[in-house]
Amino acid sequence: MPGDTAASRNLASCHLCLNLADASLHQCPRCGEDLHLRKSNSIQRTLALLITAAVLYIPANVLPIMITDQLGNSTESTILGGVVLLIDMGSLPIAAIIFIASVMVPLGKLITLFYLCWSVSGGKSAGPRQRTVMYRATELIGKWSMVDVFVVSILVALVHLTGLLVILPGAAAVAFAGVVMVTIIAAESFDPRIIWDQQENTDE
What range defines the domain where residue 110 resides?
41-203
Same domain, residue pair 102 and 25: no
Same domain, residue pair 89 and 171: yes
pLDDT at 45: 92
Q: What is the CATH number of the domain that holds 54?
A: 1.20.140
DSSP 35: P
The b/e string for 38-76 (b: 16+ C-beta within 10 A; e otherwise) is ebeebbebbbebbebbbebbeebbebbbbbbeeeeeeee
Reduce the DSSP state of residue 182 to 3 states and report it: helix
Same domain, residue pair 66 and 167: yes
Same domain, residue pair 104 and 153: yes
pLDDT surpasses 50 at 191:
yes
pLDDT surpasses 70 at 70:
no
Residues 153-180: what's their mean pLDDT? 68
- Cα 79 to Cα 2, 98, 107, 159: the distances in Å are 50, 8, 13, 19
pLDDT in tens, 99-151: 887 888 888 889 999 999 998 887 666 787 888 888 888 877 766 666 656 66
Same domain, residue pair 63 and 3: no
**Whole-angstrom distance, CA of residue 157 vs CA of residue 145:** 20
Provide the domain count of the chain.
Answer: 2
Alpha-carbon torsion (8, 13, 14, 19), positive or negative: positive
Amino acid (one-letter) located at 156? V
Same domain, residue pair 83 and 3: no
Q: Choose between 71 and 55: higher pLDDT.
A: 55
| Of 78, 145, 152, 84, nearest in space to 110 by CA | 145
Same domain, residue pair 103 and 181: yes
pLDDT in tens, 58-68: 998 888 877 77
Same domain, residue pair 66 and 32: no
Same domain, residue pair 23 and 71: no
pLDDT surpasses 90 at 53:
yes
Same domain, residue pair 102 and 135: yes
Mean pLDDT rounded to a whole number for the chain: 76
**Whole-angstrom distance, CA of residue 177 vs CA of residue 74:** 23
DSSP string, 82-141: HHHHHHHTT-HHHHHHHHIIIIIHHHHHHHHHHHHHHHHTT-----HHHHHHHHHHHHHH
pLDDT in tens, 2-29: 445 666 667 777 766 767 777 677 788 8
Same domain, residue pair 23 and 59: no
Same domain, residue pair 28 and 48: no
**Whole-angstrom distance, CA of residue 56 vs CA of residue 185:** 14
